[in-house]
Amino acid sequence: MKLRHILGVLPLAALAACSGMMAENATKKAQAQCATEGKQFVTTNVEKHDNPIYSSAEVVGHCVGPGDPGYVAPAAKS
């Protein structure tokens, strides 16, 4: 089983920044990257930090494929 860790840190120095949106965007990017390999992204940790000047988000996880722990087979279409 080959697991690859993906770390996304997206700092932004802007008052309108929202760490929740940043974490969501990082997760979507990681999911897209794993999908190009035919795998799924499994999140293992999310940390979000907000203050008046600086917001940041860190998303940690790995890509999994069939046979790997954490893999969820797509639902069959009827």
Residue 78's pLDDT band (cuts 50, 70, 90): low
In a domain, 31, yes or no: yes
User: Which structural domain range is residue 32 located in?
Assistant: 4-64
- Amino acid sitting at position 56: S
In a domain, 73, yes or no: no
In a domain, 71, yes or no: no
Our count of domains for the chain comes to: 1
Each residue of 5-19: pLDDT tens digit? 454 444 444 444 588
In a domain, 69, yes or no: no
Each residue of 26-75: pLDDT tens digit? 999 999 999 999 999 999 999 998 887 888 999 999 999 988 888 888 78
In a domain, 77, yes or no: no
Each residue of 67-77: pLDDT tens digit? 888 888 878 77
CA 27 – CA 61 distance, rounded (Å): 9
User: Quick one: DSSP state of residue 29?
Assistant: H
Tell me the whole-structure pTM to 2 decimals.
0.69
